Structure 1
Amino acid sequence: MRLLVTRPQPQADAWVRRLAEAGFEACAVPLLHTEACGDVAGVPAQQRITQAAGLVFVSPAAATHFFEQVPAAPWPAARWAAAPGPGTAERLVALGVPAGCIVQPAADAAQFDSESLWQQLQPRVQAGMLVVIVRGDGGRDWLADTLRAAGAQVDFVQAYRRTAPRLRPAEQAALQAALAQPAEHLWLFSSAEAIGHLQSLAPGADWQPAQALATHPRIEARARALGFGRVLFSRPSFDAVALAARALHGTHE
């Protein structure tokens, strides 16, 4: 069974490499494309970032495109960087943020999302402090509203924009193979928006024979709504996804 990684690049290729090292056959079909939008580099954004007590990075893409645009400098020891899950936290460390400055959900959290992150952020939030949320073009406002309710000032910096997929020839070929032999492939979904793009790429496709792993209940619901015949939930960490994929593969042997 071939695993199809739908994360944006370069995350998709990184996951494919890790899956291959773990013994899986995997390929990338990135169903989201992200690109820097230039907001971070502007003087007003830089002033807000400098004044912030902490920054929340909503995804690995937010971290990647943020650091593409900020001047190279050591991360201030007094400033925390929040990540909703291990993928974003790992990306922040790779980009030079000290691990001791990173706030993320507990390793045994039921979900890796804003609600779980808030449980760790709440003790750090003080009335009047400025928190900057680094994100793409739009997104959920739950964490921002919760921070404001706790007395914090909240500002947004748009580090990137999301666009429709831009599949390379090999990725397009992998998509066509999955459509032709759905039972031989397992989709790995980490974004409900990506599922919407898949629907646009293959209008009229019969998804009943297809199977997927989804890393959040909202994503699981979106895959079921599209018509996937079998959708299983997995925590978004690599180890959890690998374990779930092995279990699913075993049921087909």
Structure 2
Amino acid sequence: MSDSPPAVWVTRPRAQARRLEAMLQARGFAPVAAPLLAIEPIEDEEQEAQVAAALDDYAWVFFVSRTAAELAVPRLRRYRAWPPGPPVMTVGEGSAESLRALGFSEVICPREGADSEAVLALPECARAAVSGRRVLLVKGEGGRALLAQTLIERGALVDTWICYRRVQPRWTAEVLAPLRERRLAAMLLTSSEGVMNLPALVPAADWPLLVDVPAVAAHPRIAAAATTLGLRRVVTAAAPGDAGLMATLESLPAVQEGSR
């Protein structure tokens, strides 16, 4: 039995990780900030002014992530108040919470699922609801094109505002210490793009230690990416959101054993 709480890598970008880190601490874990992506805002005052001027023309505005909401909304508010204005939509309870904190009392969000497929199943995205109407997608560079492509196929007029990019961060020896000291109980994976940065961030000499560390993935697509890299103990969270990650983490036999 160890007197130290089990160490867990939190691989979200730092600005997005605070809530999950607090949940881990409250449950007796030692969160370790191990971001697989860093966020770099893209500033474009001309585009921001154009979006603000056209805002009321949109049937709704979709934010692909918490980051998109927290970066874009304050920028638009330099030019106008919002709300009032078009409804907001997102995927995932974390992003919805951010929008509520920004003053949007009504947030359109899937009740089940946390991906583009779940968003496209919403009645607001049905062909009859979007055909001939203008919608705005606020996102980072790259990412899946499924949402925009499907909405266009359904007759929507889709505008896209790219307000940030994801870049590879740098890790310090402090991040790698729990792995090297064999006290890393698990890692929480929340981005398939981020997972693909693992080989560049974990030195080759440490990789054999990593492949058997339990990994909880937020989505099957993320789990598949981790498995492709050779991680051998990958499980998908039983439910979306931070609560799903925590419940699955606490259910892992290795984690339960290590916390005794």
> Are the aligned partners of 1:12 and 1:29 in contact in 2 as well (CA < 8 Å)?
no
Query: After superposition, what is the alpha-carbon deviation per residue over 1:111-145, rounded to whole angstroms, capped at 9, x for unaligned?
Result: 31011111123358232111110001122111111
Q: Match for residue 97 of structure 2? A: 90
Among candidates 227, 245, 250, match of residue 224 of structure 1: 227
**Inter-CA distance 55–250: structure 2 relative to 1 (3 Å threshold):** same
Q: Match for residue 190 of structure 1? A: 190
Q: Match for residue 58 of structure 1? A: 64
Q: CA RMSD in A?
A: 2.1
Moved over 4 A (4+): none
Among candidates 235, 241, 244, match of residue 237 of structure 1: 241
Runs of 5+ unmatched residues, structure 1: none
Query: After superposition, what is the alpha-carbon deviation per residue over 1:1-34, rounded to whole angstroms, capped at 9, x for unaligned?
Result: 2111111121113321222123322121111111
Partner Cα separation in structure 2 for residue 209 and residue 41 of structure 1: 49
Deviation at 1:78, TM superposition (A): 5.5
Q: Match for residue 120 of structure 2? A: 118
Q: Match for residue 145 of structure 1? A: 149
Partner Cα separation in structure 2 for residue 181 and residue 229 of structure 1: 19
Partner Cα separation in structure 1 for residue 153 and residue 213 of structure 2: 43
What TM-score do you get using the length of structure 1 for normalisation? 0.87
Deviates more, 1:241-250 or 1:202-211: 202-211
1:201-212 paired onto structure 2 within 5 Å: 201-204=201-204, 205-206=207-208, 207-212=210-215
Partner Cα separation in structure 1 for residue 16 and residue 125 of structure 2: 29
Partner Cα separation in structure 2 for residue 78 and residue 68 of structure 1: 14
What TM-score do you get using the length of structure 2 for normalisation? 0.85
Q: Does 1:3 align with 2:8?
A: yes
**Inter-CA distance 182–125: structure 2 relative to 1 (3 Å threshold):** farther
1:27-38 paired onto structure 2 within 5 Å: 27-38=32-43
Question: 2:91 aligns to what SS in structure 1?
Answer: coil
Among candidates 24, 28, 45, match of residue 23 of structure 1: 28
Query: After superposition, what is the alpha-carbon deviation per residue over 1:34-90, rounded to whole angstroms, capped at 9, x for unaligned?
Result: 122013663333334342121111011111111242225543455221111111111
Partner Cα separation in structure 1 for residue 251 and residue 53 of structure 2: 49
Query: After superposition, what is the alpha-carbon deviation per residue over 1:128-174, rounded to whole angstroms, capped at 9, x for unaligned?
Result: 1111100011221111111112211001001111111144xxxx244
Question: 1:159 aligns to what SS in structure 2?
Answer: strand
Letter in 2 for 1:60: R
Question: 1:56 aligns to what SS in structure 2?
Answer: strand
> Are the aligned partners of 1:38 and 1:69 in contact in 2 as well (CA < 8 Å)?
no
Partner Cα separation in structure 2 for residue 66 and residue 140 of structure 1: 19
Query: After superposition, what is the alpha-carbon deviation per residue over 1:73-111, rounded to whole angstroms, capped at 9, x for unaligned?
Result: 54345522111111111111112222x2x11111xx2x3
Deviation at 1:200, TM superposition (A): 0.6
**Inter-CA distance 164–211: structure 2 relative to 1 (3 Å threshold):** same
**Inter-CA distance 68–44: structure 2 relative to 1 (3 Å threshold):** same
Letter in 2 for 1:147: L
> Are the aligned partners of 1:39 and 1:158 in contact in 2 as well (CA < 8 Å)?
no
Among candidates 85, 103, 114, match of residue 108 of structure 2: 103
What is the number of residues matched between the two proteins?
Answer: 244
